[in-house]
Amino acid sequence: MKFDYNSYPYPSTRRTIFGKNGMVATSSPYATSAGAKILLEGGNAVDAALAASMTLPVVEPTGNGLGSDMFALIYFEGKLYGINASGRSPKNISIEKLIEKGYDKMPSCGVNVINTPGLICGVMKLHEDFARLGLDKIFEPAISYAEEGYPVTPQIAKLWGESVEKYKNLNRDEFEEFFKSFTINGRAPRDGEVFKSPDLASTLREIRDTKGESFYRGDLAEKIASEVERLGGFLSLDDLRDFEANYVNPISTNYKGIDIWEIPPNGHGISVLMALNILSEMEIKDREDPKTIHKIIEAIKLSLTDAKTYVADPDKMKIEIERLLSKDYANDRRAKISERAKSPEAFKINSSDTVYFATADKDGNMVSMIQSNYAGFGSGIVVPGTGISLNNRIENFYFEEGLANSLEGGKLPYHTIIPGFMTKNKDALGAFGIMGAFMQPQAHVQVLMNMIDFNLNPQAALDAPRIMWIDDKKIQVEKDFRPEIIDELKNLGHEVEVVSDFKNMGRGQIILKDKDVYIGGTEKRTDSNIFSY
């Protein structure tokens, strides 16, 4: 028998999952199992999230690595916390220096696009402040998967193959270590094939044993900085030594009685809140009504266009967050929406890879967490002997002087990863997130409206077909939309492309709380699953 594990020609139904004592929802069955193991051993939601966080770079390296950034929202003992573990640009980088290297636009991969990685520092800060179990237990599943291996899941095998082909076609010496560390005889592992990474296992042990110090100020930091220097890049030992993850105050808006929370800029979660504010006083009918879909598209266009203009390192923003979330702003932008598709000051939407996951425990604590290299394996630069793949987050800066998000040394970039959370009357309603670069806020808006406006349960809210605004009047819609809806969107002035590939439409997880019961939904567009008990 020869199976295609990415082919599912017949519709199938995932069911909403319930649990009383805890829940873990991730994009990988192995990461879900890691979090489940920790909950069953007495860990809390933060312990489970950290176990998943450290397992995902091993089992889903196509979306994140130990060189990733991370954001999280943590509902702990009745209070909501936010953490920003995104790194700053190297102090020594500039647009001028990239021009001297021959670039006329921001590079997308290679040694010159590496930002200071924030994930490990963020993990250690959360462990110190919220965790119940020791690092030895939390890191054990990730180390086990790295050392003993795991069968690669179908969607990850597909994405892995795309990355290998990408780096082969670029044919640059700086990717040599990627092929040593993340291929089997020069090819991507196939679905169901066991992949091992003893280098990652050793690195995880060193991170665990030094509580992350080695990564920023010890042996691992020396290896990272040395490899970047050897390849002629900008990230230095000083950049690593000076990094610190920070707690931030989450931002919110009330949408039809429910408070929606996001991480503040430099993340673009604010664009979700801006779009919801625009939509909050519009007539929203049936989800299948093309006029409703049109309004959602136009609101998303405006909020993303404005986020592109204003979101940046908070110290560099040229407008107050409060103003972007104000009624005056929403009223002004709402007035720009007409019955026909319009062309805002648009920007191209790029594909990206990220991992989102959520956890909950018997005490009502919940975590909404997301981490990413940005695009696939990130920069494609892997530190020899460590399994550390380094991000390409520099690509999110603008290659133009004088803008809020222009590339400068030591600066936080416009960031695409956005965990979400919901509360009502200060009580937790649940954690949600949908990965996928500039699709993330678009999917947040659509999935939230599916639940709040259209009363779809969490699983159905994730299953529902999605739309992605690309630029100008161009949109992509999933093939599950009825043909008459697609035709009417065209009549309203939208340039519609129907897509069958799930990759760019986002991959989400939801854990809601109703009194003492958790309610979970997980993404049909990837290898997701949920543990509950």
Cβ atoms within 10 A of the Cβ of 515, count?
Answer: 5
Domain boundaries, the chain: 17-243+354-396, 248-352+418-514
DSSP 14-82: PPPEEESSEEEEESSHHHHHHHHHHHHTT--HHHHHHHHHHHHHHH-TTT--TB-EEEEEEEETTEEEE
Strand ranges, E, within 375-486: 382-383, 388-389, 420-424, 427-435, 467-471, 474-478
Chain segment 120-141, per-residue pLDDT in tens: 999 999 999 999 999 999 999 9
* Confidence (pLDDT) at 353: 63
Cβ contact 251:273 at 8 Å: yes
Rg (CA), the chain: 22
Evaluated on CA atoms 281, 282, 285, 288, the torsion sign reads negative
* Confidence (pLDDT) at 346: 37
Q: What is the mean pLDDT of residues 238-257?
A: 97
Write down the CATH number for the domain with range 248-352+418-514: 1.10.246.130
* Confidence (pLDDT) at 345: 57
At 469 the three-state DSSP class reads strand
* Confidence (pLDDT) at 348: 39
* Confidence (pLDDT) at 527: 86
* Confidence (pLDDT) at 529: 87
User: 280-309 burial by CB neighbour count: b if 16+ within 10 A, else e?
Assistant: beeebeebeebebbbbbbbbbbbbbbbbbe
Cβ contact 434:510 at 8 Å: no
* Confidence (pLDDT) at 460: 95
- The helix (run of H) or strand (run of E) holding residue 85 is strand 79-85
Q: Residue 347: pLDDT above 90? A: no
Q: Residue 503: pLDDT above 80? A: no
Q: Rounded CA gap, 377 and 197, in Å?
A: 15
Q: Residue 352: pLDDT above 60? A: no
Backbone φ, ψ for residue 18 (5° rounding) = -115, 150
Q: Residue 349: pLDDT above 50? A: no
User: 406-435 burial by CB neighbour count: b if 16+ within 10 A, else e?
Assistant: bbbeebbbbbbbbbbbbbeeeebbbbbbbb
In Å, what is the CA distance from 137 to each residue of 143, 179, 251, 463, 485? 10, 31, 33, 34, 51
Q: Which of these, 296, 285, 383, 408, lies nearest to 341 by C-alpha position?
A: 296
Instruction: Name the residue with tokens 């809140």.
Output: 273
Provide the phi-psi class of 427: left if phi over 0, else alpha when psi is between -120 and 50, else beta.
Answer: beta
Chain segment 170-221, per-residue pLDDT in tens: 999 999 999 999 999 999 999 999 999 999 999 999 999 999 999 999 999 9
How is residue 67 written in tokens? Answer: 């060189």
Q: Residue 387: pLDDT above 90? A: yes
Q: Residue 315: pLDDT above 50? A: yes
* Confidence (pLDDT) at 229: 98
Q: What is the mean pLDDT of residues 421-444?
A: 92
DSSP 224-285: HHHHHHHTT-S--HHHHHT---EEE--EEEEETTEEEEEPPTTBTTHHHHHHHHHHTTS---
Q: Residue 514: pLDDT above 90? A: yes
% of the chain beyond a pLDDT of 70 = 98
